[in-house]
A and B are shown apart, each in its own frame.
Chain A
């Protein structure tokens, strides 16, 4: 029961963006995707979300090819938080979040929808922005509204049992440090409390180490390593992939992994 890519390659023109990647999202786990710019992280997310069809290999959800799923049913299983979303029309922030409930329009009561929207907004810390017009929000505020929308979508309904998938494309970009932590904590909580399989494209090694259960390392379109965070985040491997010197602080007891980097 996973959302997974099997031996997937993506070639645009003659440029390979992904090469023979095999990876699965596990319910209850938060997976961090790490890698240098242009490694193919967002491409991988696009393949997983169904936005991009692979040139080779298969994408499956619960063993069924993603293409065979109806858009509507698929939307009740996986939510995507995009990198940047512009909106030329003056919707209130709350209305944008409420759009996340669209897939459940017919299966969830207005009361339940309302509660879920409120909860998602509280998690993304945007309750005070509810009535503000989306187009005039700052970049970071827009990001948080999009997060709340994706959360509202992944909350589903009370009587659902199928696992949900939450895909976040660089969710911390443009956020202040406190909100970066809040976003990642939200994704982790989603996995821990609701059994959601979360996945985020990340850049900060320390944040990945702090929040992710699993990490996948991508470079030049190839999956270099994937597995439990502590196993994959080896300083030598990271140094090689990112092309700079990365050292890992000595761990004291239960404290999280911590990295420093220099050229």
Chain B
């Protein structure tokens, strides 16, 4: 046993450890999807032509795109794609992290109030904006909705987190229950404000809750920045989060500073999801599906699952947004509708697969 050839060890490591080799493949897939998605839409641009156009900036090729095509590419599709990539990454990662933190494959950031908090804040601004928060609206102008959404999600998460604190320690099970209670209360306030809302406010709310990347532009750059930073922090937690899956006590016995990890994970996931909701409204199912897909193709090791969920989340958003953009031209479908349309059946498939495996 003490004697194992190096080659054999390498092979074993690959088999038993994380499937890191899949990550470059996913990245390549994402790159191709982005290139294709940049070409598809109301005006179609051949992927090679758009690639050629970008390379022309480096002096390699000469762009043969029309001014209108360049405009669509650079002013419309590029910011959208950037926002989509950041949101997919943020949602996929936050989902994977929450599932590890709660040791539950069905967990998502919504459980600790991220989405409901953002929704309440946005409803407040839309419905009461003119009367109660006029000065806030004036001071923040086009940033008011994103700011409110972001602040709302952070505030609710902090509330849930602190309610679950007992003698300096946070019990994740208690956090889950507090999350349910806080979500219920927040939901009732949203209902109340929805009742007060007038017709056009209602329409705004409805569309906000279905998500859209059409707000992409200068106002969304801060959100993208927050998502990228929070995602980097979340990625760093992959090792300790693996041990979390064994149980909190076990993780602590293995030397993980569990309280710190919980705080960082909750905060970073709230920031990432909050910024995503702020920039594009509610986009469901990505946080659930991306980590599941990652585990399906490469095992449960978080050192693989986290980066893979980020890449797959981004890939799913790019695909969903492309569909949303072209399916009802010249109008566009809210992207949240598309992700739910894909997500619902996918979730069924996952469940049935799980049942079959259990029976076998």
| Chain A residues with a Cβ under 8 A of chain B | 49-51, 70-76, 78-80, 82, 85-92, 94-96, 98-100, 102-103, 105, 110-111, 114-115, 118-119, 122, 130-131, 153
* Docked CA distance A72–B9 (Å): 28
Interface string of B11-38 (1 = CB under 8 A from A): 0110111000000000000000000000
Interface string of B86-122 (1 = CB under 8 A from A): 0000000000000000011100000000000000000
Shortest Cβ gap from A94 to chain B (Å): 4
Quick one: which of B2, B245, B252, B256 contacts A91, CB cutoff 8 A?
Answer: B245
* Docked CA distance A241–B103 (Å): 40
Interface segment, one of B40-48, B149-157, B294-302, B332-340? B294-302
Quick check: A85 and B13 within 8 Å, CB to CB?
no
Quick check: A85 and B1 within 8 Å, CB to CB?
no
* Docked CA distance A44–B5 (Å): 44
Given the known inter-chain contacts A91-B300, A95-B16, please indicate yes or no for A111 contacting B9, CB distance below 8 A.
yes
Given the known inter-chain contacts A88-B105, A90-B300, please indicate yes or no for A76 contacting B255, CB distance below 8 A.
yes
Minimum-distance CB pairs A-B, first 7: A75-B255, A89-B300, A72-B255, A103-B255, A80-B253, A94-B16, A91-B300
| Nearest A-chain residue to B240, judged by Cβ | A102
Quick check: B1 and A119 within 8 Å, CB to CB?
yes
Interface string of B215-241 (1 = CB under 8 A from A): 000000000000000000000000100
Given the known inter-chain contacts A105-B239, A130-B16, A131-B15, please indicate yes or no for A71 contacting B300, CB distance below 8 A.
no
Quick check: A92 and B246 within 8 Å, CB to CB?
no
Quick one: which of A82, A90, A118 contacts B1, CB cutoff 8 A?
Answer: A118
| Nearest A-chain residue to B253, judged by Cβ | A80
Q: Does B242 contact A (CB under 8 A)?
A: yes
Given the known inter-chain contacts A87-B245, A114-B12, please indicate yes or no for A95 contacting B253, CB distance below 8 A.
no
Q: Does B350 contact A (CB under 8 A)?
A: no
Q: Does B243 contact A (CB under 8 A)?
A: yes
User: How many of chain B's residues have a CB under 8 angstroms from any CB in A?
Assistant: 31
Given the known inter-chain contacts A86-B247, A89-B300, A119-B1, please indicate yes or no for A114 contacting B254, CB distance below 8 A.
no
Quick one: which of B16, B299, B301 has the most chain A CB within 10 A?
Answer: B16
Quick one: which of A50, A88, A122 has the most chain B CB within 10 A?
Answer: A88
Given the known inter-chain contacts A72-B257, A119-B1, please indicate yes or no for A85 contacting B246, CB distance below 8 A.
yes
Shortest Cβ gap from A64 to chain B (Å): 16
Instruction: For B12, list chain A residues within 8 Å (CB).
Output: 114
* Docked CA distance A193–B255 (Å): 25
Instruction: For B247, list chain A residues within 8 Å (CB).
Output: 82, 85-86
Instruction: For B252, list chain A residues within 8 Å (CB).
Output: 50-51, 71
Quick one: which of B2, B17, B250, B256 contacts A85, CB cutoff 8 A?
Answer: B250
Quick one: which of B9, B249, B255 contacts A102, CB cutoff 8 A?
Answer: B255
Instruction: For B16, list chain A residues within 8 Å (CB).
Output: 92, 94-95, 98, 130-131
Shortest Cβ gap from A260 to chain B (Å): 37
* Docked CA distance A92–B9 (Å): 17
Instruction: For B104, list chain A residues within 8 Å (CB).
Output: 88
Additional A-B contacts beyond A51-B253, A103-B255 (19; CB < 8 A): A51-B249, A72-B255, A74-B255, A80-B253, A82-B247, A82-B250, A89-B245, A90-B295, A90-B300, A91-B301, A92-B16, A95-B16, A95-B17, A95-B300, A99-B246, A102-B239, A102-B243, A103-B254, A131-B16
Quick check: B249 and A91 within 8 Å, CB to CB?
no
Given the known inter-chain contacts A110-B13, A114-B12, please indicate yes or no for A87 contacting B257, CB distance below 8 A.
no
Quick one: which of B103, B254, B258, B299 contacts A99, CB cutoff 8 A?
Answer: B254
Shortest Cβ gap from B104 to chain A (Å): 6
| Nearest A-chain residue to B18, judged by Cβ | A95
Q: Can you list 24 A-B contacts (CB < 8 A)?
A: A50-B252, A73-B255, A78-B253, A82-B247, A82-B249, A82-B250, A85-B246, A86-B247, A88-B104, A88-B245, A89-B295, A90-B300, A92-B16, A95-B16, A95-B301, A99-B243, A99-B246, A99-B254, A100-B254, A102-B256, A110-B13, A114-B4, A114-B12, A115-B2
Considering the complex, which residues of chain B in the window 58-81 have a beta carbon less than 8 Å from any beta carbon of chain A?
none
Quick check: A153 and B254 within 8 Å, CB to CB?
yes
Instruction: For B15, list chain A residues within 8 Å (CB).
Output: 131
Instruction: For B257, list chain A residues within 8 Å (CB).
Output: 70-72
Interface string of B292-322 (1 = CB under 8 A from A): 0001000111000000000000000000000
Instruction: For B255, list chain A residues within 8 Å (CB).
Output: 71-76, 102-103
Interface string of B335-348 (1 = CB under 8 A from A): 00000000000000
| Nearest A-chain residue to B257, judged by Cβ | A71
Instruction: For A85, list chain B residues within 8 Å (CB).
Output: 246-247, 250
Instruction: For A98, list chain B residues within 8 Å (CB).
Output: 16-17
Shortest Cβ gap from A20 to chain B (Å): 23
| Nearest B-chain residue to A113, judged by Cβ | B13
Shortest Cβ gap from A24 to chain B (Å): 20
| Nearest B-chain residue to A110, judged by Cβ | B13
Shortest Cβ gap from B278 to chain A (Å): 30
* Docked CA distance A186–B301 (Å): 28
* Docked CA distance A78–B252 (Å): 11
Shortest Cβ gap from B261 to chain A (Å): 10
Instruction: For B258, list chain A residues within 8 Å (CB).
Output: 71
Quick check: A91 and B299 within 8 Å, CB to CB?
yes
* Docked CA distance A79–B239 (Å): 18
* Docked CA distance A92–B16 (Å): 7
Instruction: For A99, list chain B residues within 8 Å (CB).
Output: 242-243, 246, 254
Instruction: For A78, list chain B residues within 8 Å (CB).
Output: 253
Instruction: For A92, list chain B residues within 8 Å (CB).
Output: 16, 299
Quick one: which of A75, A88, A119 contacts B103, CB cutoff 8 A?
Answer: A88
Considering the complex, which residues of chain B in the window 245-276 have a beta carbon less than 8 Å from any beta carbon of chain A?
245-247, 249-250, 252-258
